């Protein structure tokens, strides 16, 4: 019962200390809110980028041209042998007839009319499984295909893949660094704001100590204060994120279809991170205060 | 009961109190007298553990508190003591009621018990109608009464008053002393420091006189 009485009192003190220092508390909450908004938007872009790259990587294909003197059965045999290679997931066989149709479609000319015969070789287009959709793995597979007996050539879009992988890597690194940087700034902001509040209450803290208050009795209201600031920041961030999400859906969805995120999970993440920032920030402020006294 | 046995407590540069021995019986009021810098506050600080002693023993209600160092044990010693300070040490953002209730909040008393005890304490110091005011709305004398009410609220066996009349007019100072004497009627032991000999002279109480940290 004593513990409950104390906790209720300290919780109320934690709440009261917010309106005893309204401006610093407001600034802290807004810092947390802005940090969470930027983090959530970064995460949203990360997820969309991830799906976008998956879509793009689905277009990673290996084109294989068989030797021109092969019979249809020999071509099909070679096609089946390629399918047995590790990492090759699917394939479409292209016989000479289909090759001429593709030529006609792309160049709007019938090759039989131009040359009088069909010189195009049989071939195939192979897709690789997700784990193999990198430059190194696709090079490996392509080389293996290239050196098969009845294969004339095998190619894949090397430069595009290298460039795309580089861009994605840079973007992901940038968003990670930005996220970490934002969390550090929010952490220092919260901790310094609470430190300011604590310093302004220095005399009160000393009086409480003289009256026999334990360390936890003195510290707990500030930690609760931190949690409330974090929680308030989360609520503000969720409100603005919801608005931003609805507006961006309205403005951008005609041009690009978002891979939407389950926003309950974003809200939970925001609340958890906001409260954590509050606790860690206030704990840091308290330990700094104890060191300087 | 408060007993000092050859207590020496020093700050830097060998300033402090030296070889102090005295005893205050339960229910008595004793003054610690002396000019500024004589070591009056130092003696009180060693009792409420704001300062560690170099040698000797301090016994509070038959318990030797000399070796109490940790924060938890210091807090426990302070819980048993009612403290009154020259500068009142009231929390400006708290109402008078909340200021007086603080020692009870620290102990985890229930809401109803707190209301009852604070009201009782306010009645004792004659300020029952000021419980919703803030310290800055009160005169110096009234603030010191609140400080006394805060010290009395948990009915401590020991009350330490560090120059409680230092900032007050003579007639108000007399009223404060009256209040402290009433505390001894209730069984509390009171140790009060002061440099104002004319104030305590008519009271005919035991006093300890200090000069440059030593008992005279």
| pLDDT tens column, A114-168 | 877 888 889 999 999 888 888 888 899 999 999 998 899 999 888 888 888 888 8
Q: How far apart are CA B82 and CA B188, in angstroms?
A: 10
Same domain, B3 and B63: yes
Burial B51-84 (b: 16+ CB within 10 A, else e): bebeebebebeeeebbebeeeeebbebbbbbbbb
> Which CATH number do you get for residue A121?
3.30.70.3040
Using pLDDT thresholds of 50, 70 and 90, give the confidence band for residue B103. Answer: very high
Top residue of A12, A17, A211, A218 to mutate, by most chain B CBs within 10 Å, is A211
Q: Which residues does chain A have within 8 Å of residue B107's beta carbon, measured at their own beta carbons?
A: 2
In the predicted model, what is the mean pLDDT of residues B197-210? 88
Domain boundary among A125, A156, A187: A156
pLDDT of residue A45: 79
Same domain, B15 and B52: yes
In the predicted model, what is the mean pLDDT of residues A269-279? 90
For chain A, the average pLDDT equals 85
The DSSP code sequence of B154-192 is T--SEEEEESTTTTS-HHHHHHHHHHHHHHHHTT-EEEE
- Asked whether the predicted pLDDT for residue B201 surpasses 90, the reply is no
In the predicted model, what is the mean pLDDT of residues A204-211? 89
- Asked whether the predicted pLDDT for residue B5 surpasses 90, the reply is yes
pLDDT of residue B153: 93
Q: How far is CA A153 from CA A88, A162, A166, A270, in A?
A: 17, 21, 27, 53
Same domain, B75 and B177: yes
Q: How far is CA A119 from CA A114, A130, A135, in A?
A: 11, 34, 31
- Asked whether the predicted pLDDT for residue A292 surpasses 70, the reply is no
Same domain, B147 and B171: no
pLDDT of residue B89: 93
Q: How far is CA A194 from CA A188, A244, A290, B28, B130, in A?
A: 10, 30, 13, 45, 32
Which residue in chain B has the smallest CA separation from A202?
Answer: B91
Same domain, A132 and A74: yes
In the predicted model, what is the mean pLDDT of residues A174-189? 83
Q: Are B2 and B60 in contact (CB under 8 A)?
A: yes
Domain boundary among B107, B125, B155: B155
Same domain, A180 and A285: yes
Domain boundary among A115, A140, A156: A156
CB contact under 8 A, A214 and B78: no
Same domain, B33 and B94: no
Same domain, A270 and A230: yes
The helix/strand/coil state of B57 is strand
Choice between A155 and A253, residue whose per-residue pLDDT is larger: A155
Lookup: tokens for A87: 């990492």
pLDDT of residue B117: 95
| pLDDT tens column, A39-95 | 888 888 777 877 777 777 777 889 999 998 888 899 999 999 999 999 998 999 998
Question: Domain range spanning residue B139?
Answer: 88-155
Q: Measure CB to CB from residue B48 to each of A3, A204, A210 and give the nearest one.
A: A210
pLDDT of residue A49: 78
Q: Are A64 and A156 in contact (CB under 8 A)?
A: no
Lookup: tokens for A99: 């090759």
Q: Measure CB to CB from residue B108 to each of A2, A204, A210 and give the nearest one.
A: A2
Q: Are A126 and A88 in contact (CB under 8 A)?
A: yes
Lookup: tokens for A253: 């969805």
Same domain, A204 and A236: yes
Chain-centre distance for alpha carbon B192: 7
Chain-centre distance for alpha carbon A67: 45
Count of domains for chain A = 2
Q: How far apart are CA A125 and CA A88, in angstroms?
A: 10
Using pLDDT thresholds of 50, 70 and 90, give the confidence band for residue A102. Answer: confident
In the predicted model, what is the mean pLDDT of residues B85-111? 92
Same domain, A7 and A96: no
Same domain, B184 and B133: no
Q: Which residues does chain A have within 8 Å of residue B80's beta carbon, measured at their own beta carbons?
A: 212
> Which CATH number do you get for residue B40?
3.40.50.300
Same domain, A124 and A150: yes
Q: Measure CB to CB from residue B89 to each of A1, A210, A214 and give the nearest one.
A: A210
CB contact under 8 A, B89 and A203: yes
Asked if the C-beta of A290 comes within 8 angstroms of chain B's C-beta atoms, the answer is no
Q: Measure CB to CB from residue A212 to each of B90, B103, B110 and give the nearest one.
A: B103
Same domain, B8 and B66: yes
CB contact under 8 A, B103 and A211: yes
Question: Domain range spanning residue A179?
Answer: 2-55+164-292
Domain boundary among A107, A138, A156: A156
Count of domains for chain B = 2
In the predicted model, what is the mean pLDDT of residues B68-83? 86
Same domain, B179 and B192: yes
Same domain, B49 and B151: no
Q: How far apart are CA B121 and CA B128, in angstroms?
A: 8
Same domain, A189 and A128: no
Domain boundary among B137, B155, B173: B155
């Amino acid at each position: 019962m004593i513990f409950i009485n104390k906790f209720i009192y300290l919780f109320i003190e934690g709440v009261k200390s917010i309106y005893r220092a309204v401006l610093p508390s407001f600034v802290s909450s807004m810092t947390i809110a802005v940090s969470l908004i930027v983090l959530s938007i970064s995460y949203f872009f990360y997820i969309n980028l991830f799906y976008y790259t998956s879509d793009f990587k689905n277009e990673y294909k290996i084109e294989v041209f068989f030797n021109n003197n092969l019979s249809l059965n020999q071509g099909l045999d070679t096609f089946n042998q390629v399918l047995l290679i590790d990492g090759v997931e699917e394939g479409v066989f292209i016989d000479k007839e289909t090759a001429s149709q593709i030529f006609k479609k792309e160049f709007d000319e019938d090759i039989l009319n131009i040359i009088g015969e069909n010189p195009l070789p049989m071939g195939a287009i192979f897709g690789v499984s997700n784990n193999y959709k990198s430059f190194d793995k696709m090079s490996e597979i392509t080389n293996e295909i290239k050196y098969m007996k009845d294969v004339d050539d095998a190619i894949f879009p090397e430069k595009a893949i290298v460039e795309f992988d580089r861009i994605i890597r840079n973007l992901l690194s940038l968003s990670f660094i930005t996220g970490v940087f934002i969390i550090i700034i929010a952490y220092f902001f919260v901790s310094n704001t609470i430190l300011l509040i604590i310093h302004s209450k220095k005399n009160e803290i000393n009086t409480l100590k003289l009256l026999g208050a334990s360390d936890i009795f003195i510290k707990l209201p500030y930690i609760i204060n931190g949690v409330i600031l974090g929680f308030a920041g989360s609520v503000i961030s969720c409100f603005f994120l919801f608005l931003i999400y609805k507006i961006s859906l309205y403005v951008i969805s005609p041009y690009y279809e978002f891979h939407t995120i389950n926003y309950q999970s974003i809200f939970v993440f925001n609340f958890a991170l906001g409260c954590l920032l509050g606790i860690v920030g206030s704990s840091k402020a308290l330990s700094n205060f104890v060191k300087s006294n | 009961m408060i007993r000092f046995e050859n207590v020496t407590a020093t700050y830097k540069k060998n300033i402090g109190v030296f070889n102090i021995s005295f005893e205050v019986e339960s229910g008595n009021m004793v003054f610690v007298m002396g000019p500024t810098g004589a070591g009056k506050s130092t003696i009180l600080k060693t009792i409420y553990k704001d300062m560690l002693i170099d040698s000797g023993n301090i016994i509070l209600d038959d318990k030797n508190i000399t070796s109490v160092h940790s924060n938890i044990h210091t807090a426990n010693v302070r819980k048993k003591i009612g403290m009154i300070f020259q500068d009142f040490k009231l929390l400006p953002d708290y109402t008078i009621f909340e200021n007086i209730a603080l020692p009870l909040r620290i102990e985890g008393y229930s809401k109803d018990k707190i209301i009852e005890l604070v009201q009782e304490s306010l009645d004792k110091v004659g300020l029952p109608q000021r419980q919703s005011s803030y310290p800055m709305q009160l005169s110096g004398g009234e603030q010191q009464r609140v400080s006394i009410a805060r010290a009395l609220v948990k009915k401590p066996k020991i009350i330490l008053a560090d120059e409680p009349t230092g900032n007050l007019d003579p007639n108000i100072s007399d009223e404060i002393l009256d209040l402290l004497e009433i505390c001894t009627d209730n069984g509390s032991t009171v140790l009060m420091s002061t440099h104002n000999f004319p104030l305590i002279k008519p009271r005919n109480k035991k006093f300890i006189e200090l000069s440059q940290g030593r008992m005279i």
